[in-house]
Amino acid sequence: MAKTIKVKAKIAAIENKPLFIRTPYIELQAALKLCNIAQTGGHAKILITEEKCVFVNGEICEMRGKKLYSGDTLRVGRESFVIESMQKE
């Protein structure tokens, strides 16, 4: 008979860091480069389309040209950013 082992795990909170932009929006692949998650556009493409590890507002996003506006969140692994516009509204 198999033994059942109970494990208590505490999920670490992920802190949203601000990602400031000077334009009304930023494309997803440009945002990945700006926050130093991807080193090049090609690396960003691989993360978005092949690895499928990029989340925008809590959902997996596979569109490299997805426009991110102020208030949107971007998460890759344990890195999380919230887009904040520096433009005057």
54-76 pLDDT, tens digit per residue, is 999 999 999 999 999 999 999 99
* pLDDT band (50, 70, 90) for residue 40: very high
Q: Is the pLDDT assigned to residue 89 strictly greater than 70?
A: no
Q: Is the pLDDT assigned to residue 1 strictly greater than 80?
A: no
pLDDT in tens, 5-30: 887 777 677 788 999 999 999 999 99
C-alpha to C-alpha distances, 4 to 1, 7, nearest whole angstrom: 10, 10
* Structure token pair of residue 26: 């930023």
Torsions phi, psi for 42 (to 5 deg): -65, -40
Interatomic CA distance for residues 39 and 25, integer angstroms: 20
